[in-house]
Amino acid sequence: MQEPTSLTASNGANNKRKGSSKMAELIALHRVAESRKPEGKRICYDPYAVYFVDPETLAFAASNPEKAKEMSEYYERLFPGLANSIRARVRYFDDFVKSSLDEGLEQLVILGAGYDTRAYRIEGLKGKVRVFEVDHPDTQSVKVEKIKNIFGSLPDHVTYVPVDFETENLGERLAAQGYDRSLKTLFLMEGLSMYIPPEAVDETLSFVVKNSCKGSAILFDYYPESLVDGSCELEAGKNIHNYLVQVEESLKFGTREGEAKTFLAERGFSQIHNVTAEEYKKMYFHGINKNREVSSLLFFVHAVTE
Ligand SMILES: C[S@@+](CC[C@H](N)C(=O)[O-])C[C@H]1O[C@@H](n2cnc3c(N)ncnc32)[C@H](O)[C@@H]1O
């Protein structure tokens, strides 16, 4: 398959840090594309995502709609359903934050926040819930400047915590910035687990279990281990693996097929719910969207601490 010019070329930000994460920008581009659909057709909505995509990328897509369509069709053939799974993930995580708010959420920690805009767009967070956005300093510094430009200043309810999960201690950095372990907390890791080594995933989960009060929760997404190590038999899995190696954003962590529950139970979590593609397809893709394919390779999982 001949590859058309990529809309957001990778700079290998996750593996060979040389600037902000291009994957974070690519996810923002998915949110832009979905948000531009009419209300009854979109799966998720983020009015701020557009500020986090290179204006040249948006201008190119606007003035070359045929090329942009050709590119998204090319990636859909390469990674069938993945774009829709990423957009369903945004919606699922949004809905989870909203229901956590209804259940008395007091603190939100967004790990690998990238250009996540939930702190600024989900009603009920501002003024009630302290939000910690944790990300690699190279990406967070770019985000902080953009947030200042959008809102004129940094919002009071958000604390920015620059951390490299591979080399720094998350717990120490969070504690130093005012993280309160006595508050009911939700930890989000969206599009992060796969980009950090298994040891860093373990350390993060261990921090959550040991340093959050009863009833706190974690929600994250993951790929199966076979996709990460390149042994996946599905063509889509091989394609995702090979593409990410090629753009120097190789995957590092996945869980063995069907073992996410055991994986989290062994690490001290309970009330574990593994969300399959079939489940989120049923939740969000109805009517006009019922024929949109999702990827069976992207899972979500949530669990609580005792
Ligand atoms: C695919 S992006 C997802 C961003 C955001 N959560 C979203 O869904 O839009 C991955 C994020 O993980 C962050 N990340 C990757 N490796 C990291 C590391 N070693 N330390 C800190 N952050 C890291 C990147 O900076 C980036 O923001």
- Centre of ligand 1 to C-alpha 288, Å, is 32
- Centre of ligand 1 to C-alpha 287, Å, is 33
Is 9 a residue whose pLDDT tops 50? no
| 141 falls within a domain | yes
pLDDT for residue 11: 39
Is 272 a residue whose pLDDT tops 70? yes
- Centre of ligand 1 to C-alpha 97, Å, is 19
Contacts 24+ apart (CB under 8 A), 156-161: 157/119, 157/125, 157/126, 157/127, 157/128, 157/129, 157/130, 157/131, 158/119, 158/120, 158/131, 158/132, 158/133, 159/130, 159/131, 159/132, 159/133, 160/133, 161/132, 161/133, 161/134, 161/135
Longest alpha-carbon distance in the chain: 54
What is the rounded CA–CA span in Å between residue 306 and residue 142?
36
What CATH number is given to the structural domain containing 285?
3.40.50.150
* Res. 36 pLDDT band, cuts 50 70 90: very high
CB neighbourhood size of 39 (10 A)? 6
Is 4 a residue whose pLDDT tops 60? no
Q: Identify which of 153, 302, 289, 133 has the alpha carbon closest to the alpha carbon of residue 222.
A: 302
What is the rounded CA–CA span in Å between residue 221 and residue 219?
7
Q: What are the C-alpha distances in Å from 88 to residues 54, 66, 193, 279?
A: 23, 25, 17, 11
Over the stretch 63-90, which tens digit does the pLDDT of each residue have? 999 999 999 999 999 999 999 999 999 9
Q: Identify which of 300, 301, 298 has the alpha carbon closest to the alpha carbon of residue 227.
A: 298
Is 17 a residue whose pLDDT tops 80? no
| 64 falls within a domain | no
Over the stretch 156-176, which tens digit does the pLDDT of each residue have? 999 999 999 999 999 999 999
Mean pLDDT of 12-38: 83
Over the stretch 86-130, which tens digit does the pLDDT of each residue have? 999 999 999 999 999 999 999 999 999 999 999 999 999 998 999
Is 5 a residue whose pLDDT tops 50? no
Q: What are phi and psi of 135, to 5 degrees?
A: -160, 170
CA angle 58, 64, 67 (to 5 degrees): 105
Nearest CA owner, ligand 1 atom 12: 112
- Centre of ligand 1 to C-alpha 112, Å, is 4
| 200 falls within a domain | yes
CB neighbourhood size of 3 (10 A)? 11
What is the rounded CA–CA span in Å between residue 112 and residue 143?
12
| 49 falls within a domain | no
Nearest CA owner, ligand 1 atom 20: 164
| 181 falls within a domain | yes
pLDDT for residue 248: 87
Q: Give helix 82-102 / helix 277-284 axis angle, nearest 10°.
A: 70
Mean pLDDT of 39-65: 96
pLDDT for residue 12: 37
Mean pLDDT of 233-245: 95
Q: Atom of ligand 1 at shortest distance to CA of 28?
A: 9
Mean pLDDT of 250-263: 95
Q: What is the number of structural domains in the chain?
A: 1
Q: How far apart are the first and last CA of the chain?
A: 50
- Centre of ligand 1 to C-alpha 135, Å, is 6
CB 29 within 8 Å of CB 19: no
Residues contacting ligand 1 via CB (< 6 Å) = 14, 21, 23-24, 27, 112-116, 135-136, 139, 163-166, 190-192, 195-196
Tell me the average pLDDT of the chain. Answer: 94
Q: Atom of ligand 1 at shortest distance to CA of 24?
A: 2
pLDDT for residue 10: 44
- Centre of ligand 1 to C-alpha 258, Å, is 25
| 116 falls within a domain | yes
Mean pLDDT of 271-287: 98
Over the stretch 281-300, which tens digit does the pLDDT of each residue have? 999 999 999 999 999 999 99
- Centre of ligand 1 to C-alpha 54, Å, is 17
Q: Atom of ligand 1 at shortest distance to CA of 188?
A: 6
| 288 falls within a domain | yes
pLDDT for residue 160: 98
Q: What are phi and psi of 9, to 5 degrees?
A: -65, 140
For 184, the domain range is 80-305
What is the rounded CA–CA span in Å between residue 27 and residue 87?
9
Determine the residue of 136, 138, 194, 298 to mutate for testing ligand 1's pocket, defined as the one with the most ligand atoms within 8 A of the Cβ atom.
Answer: 136
Is 54 a residue whose pLDDT tops 60? yes
Nearest CA owner, ligand 1 atom 2: 24
Nearest CA owner, ligand 1 atom 14: 112
CB 28 within 8 Å of CB 35: no
Mean pLDDT of 5-13: 45
SS3 143: helix
pLDDT for residue 257: 87
| 54 falls within a domain | no
What is the rounded CA–CA span in Å between residue 27 and residue 114?
9
